[in-house]
Chain A
Amino acid sequence: MTTLSNVKLSLSALGRMTLSPVQELGKITVFFFWGMVHIVSFPLQVYKIVEQIYFIGMKSVFVICLTGAFTGMVLGLQGYYTLVKFGSEGVLGAAVALSLIREMGPVLTAIMVVGRAGSAMAAEIGIMRISEQIDALETMDIDPVRFLVSPRIAAALISFPLLTALFDVIGIFGGYLTGSVLLGINPGIYFSRVESSVIMKDISGGFAKSIVFALVVVTVCCFKGYFTHLQTEGFGSKGVSLSTTSAVVLSCVLVLITDYMLTSILL
């Protein structure tokens, strides 16, 4: 009897463990759907979208330039010492550009924005939830998802590809700095390799990734903040801290998983 009940308990625990992520995924999907629908619902929230573009995009420019430059420089450095062993250091430009445009640009941009803007989104919305500001919106007949989430999704859809493009360009120049200026590869060869190796499919693939990452990052961060009050491990400010942490971790993990899936589709 005891063995049977133990089996039953284990099975139900397994069931709960399986169902819980599925339910969470379902909730996130519905949340994302409503957020997307309200982007185009009238009246358009142009001012709020511009405000969010400034917050997500403009304020991230410096950090993107910095990380882009150093990523490109490291790629240039590592690439040179690897390629020189095979006497093919001339293709460094192609290696740096393709690595950045196809993979590192979209992924690192998304991760940097998660750290800078995503965590802020989760914390801000989480605090609004625990201080009943979201309830207040509902009582005023203002749709909280439309008011808080839709402008952020729209702004991310615009900002992410632009930031990714900036990251790529700065990264390619970073590679040039180490490859040509520091290690002596002919600049003409570096840039001609960049030009000849990169095709439009690489660029559109990179942008497609950045758009998907934008949706993933904003949806996850806003979702975690929005449902802060449902945190079971902690309430109040601790709940907000947990939501912010889980928003950042989950966003980064999902960016990497989605990147793999998209790469396998796009290649």
Chain B
Amino acid sequence: MKTPLIQLNDIHKTFGSNKVLDGITLSIYQGEITTIIGKSGGGKSVLLKHIIGLLEPDSGQILFNGQPLSGMKRPERKTLKRKFSYMFQGNALFDSLTVCENVALPLKETTSMSDKEIRRRADEKMAHLDIQGIEDKYPSQLSGGMKKRVALARALMTDPEIILFDEPTTGLDPIRKNAVLSMISDYQKKFGFTGVVVSHEIPDIFYISQRIAMLNDGRILFEGSPDEIQRTTVPEIRNFIYGYEDQKDHTDKRHQPYVERRFLQEMVRLQNHHITFSLVLFMFENIDKLCEHAEHIAGHTVIENLAQKIRSKITITDSCSRFGLNKIVLLISNADISQARAFCESLASEIQGKDIAGFKHNPDFCFSISVGFAQATQDSSLETLLETAESSSKPFYATSHT
């Protein structure tokens, strides 16, 4: 059994007469992204502040690698603190410092690095986050989205082992939001940090998280994987998750539960009326590298562009949805596997040779999409169909070398 990196045991916190945390017990594992969801004003930020030590619990214990935080001596706490980074909900940028000075501050104040090296690192981080050209501006001169990215760049400057993100995507447009989520996921894979994210971005946040914890009435109501939370039958959790979804437009076919609902509907038709259907799985092979070669929103743009092409060709009974970070699932109603293949051949001939990425790509880098097919039978499950499609995948599209 894995030992948690951070363990919160029965944490209580009250502000005046307002009980915010009422016995929180939560495990955070190394190298994973744990997302805390819950109602606004429910104490998620307070919980994060307990983890980093900005707030002390009234009672309960916080353990790091099994060692209680309260029992640590000052130097030990200092060493531990250096492993952390925190991205504040309100950004907490220093308004009297320029963007560059803000980003460089953690290294400037805590290391003996030369100014030149600090500047190089700051430029690198700002380039990753697409915030070049604003180095000499002050936070008050920036838009909300830019401030978020500056705060994120500052949080990443020290290459920390544990990063706490307090609503990192609030106030961003959908494209930037996906770019930031992709970037958190990419950085997490690249550097292997442990992430704790407070977010309301359901279900997008599920794609980048390994664990989800739901906070309700000062307690952890659920702790588990994104799959588990989406399959849960607990009414409070379902209402919370799907309540968020219901507010969104269902024609925005990016939500995993939508795929499941459509699959179940097709299965009912198959079982009752023997109307078969096929599943087509489009897999974007090297989307991580694409983000490195182009920019963080490139991955999102490619997926959206292909999804639009597919939507323009499908009928009203078919459904096309994003699945995970780098997949699109297409359910073709009343079609066997050969018809699904024919559909894809037609689509491939339309897009082959065309630039579906919509950005200037590196000539040395080849980006590809593969496609897999599966035909449903009476006893199929979505998982088995996805596995079949994935195992039988073949090249579908590739950017040409110039």
Tell me, in angstroms, the Cα distance from A124 to B95 when the chains sit together: 10
B118 to A: closest C-beta gap in Å: 14
**Interface residue? B52 (CB, 8 A):** yes
In the complex, are the beta carbons of A136 and B82 less than 8 A apart?
A: no
**Interface residue? B94 (CB, 8 A):** yes
**Interface residue? B188 (CB, 8 A):** no
Q: Which residues of A contact B88 (CB under 8 A)?
A: 132, 135-136
In the complex, are the beta carbons of B84 and A139 less than 8 A apart?
A: yes
CB nearest neighbor in B for A128:
B94
**Interface residue? B324 (CB, 8 A):** no
Q: Which residues of B contact A139 (CB under 8 A)?
A: 52, 54, 81, 84-86
Q: Which residues of B contact A128 (CB under 8 A)?
A: 94
**Interface residue? B110 (CB, 8 A):** yes
Tell me, in angstroms, the Cα distance from A140 to B92 when the chains sit together: 12
Q: Name which of A128, A138, A140, A142 has the most chain B CB atoms within 10 A of its CB.
A: A140
**Interface residue? A82 (CB, 8 A):** no
**Interface residue? B90 (CB, 8 A):** yes
**Interface residue? A24 (CB, 8 A):** no
Q: Which residues of A contact B52 (CB under 8 A)?
A: 139
Number of interface residues of B (CB under 8 A): 23
**Interface residue? B117 (CB, 8 A):** no
- Chain A residues 142 to 172 lying within 8 A of chain B, measured CB to CB, are 142, 147
B251 to A: closest C-beta gap in Å: 39
A135 to B: closest C-beta gap in Å: 5
Q: Which residues of B contact A140 (CB under 8 A)?
A: 85, 105-106, 109-110, 158
Tell me, in angstroms, the Cα distance from A213 to B358 when the chains sit together: 66
In the complex, are the beta carbons of B105 and A131 less than 8 A apart?
A: no
- Chain B residues 283 to 322 lying within 8 A of chain A, measured CB to CB, are none
CB nearest neighbor in A for B166:
A132
Q: Which residues of B contact A141 (CB under 8 A)?
A: 78, 81-82, 106, 110
Can you list, as one digit per residue, whether each of B232-257 has a CB less than 8 Å from chain A (1) or not (0)?
00000000000000000000000000
Q: Which residues of A contact B82 (CB under 8 A)?
A: 141
- Chain A residues 9 to 38 lying within 8 A of chain B, measured CB to CB, are none
Q: Which residues of A contact B54 (CB under 8 A)?
A: 135, 138-139
In the complex, are the beta carbons of A142 and B110 less than 8 A apart?
A: yes
In the complex, are the beta carbons of A136 and B92 less than 8 A apart?
A: yes
Tell me, in angstroms, the Cα distance from A124 to B96 when the chains sit together: 10
**Interface residue? A133 (CB, 8 A):** yes
Q: Could you write out 22 A-B pairs with CB less than 8 Å apart?
A: A127-B95, A128-B94, A132-B88, A133-B93, A133-B94, A133-B95, A135-B49, A136-B88, A136-B92, A136-B94, A138-B53, A139-B54, A139-B81, A139-B86, A140-B105, A140-B109, A140-B158, A141-B78, A141-B106, A141-B110, A142-B105, A142-B106
- Chain B residues engaging chain A, CB cutoff 8 angstroms: 49, 52-54, 78, 81-82, 84-86, 88, 90, 92-96, 105-106, 109-110, 112, 158
3 smallest A-B Cβ distances: which pairs? A136-B92, A139-B86, A132-B92
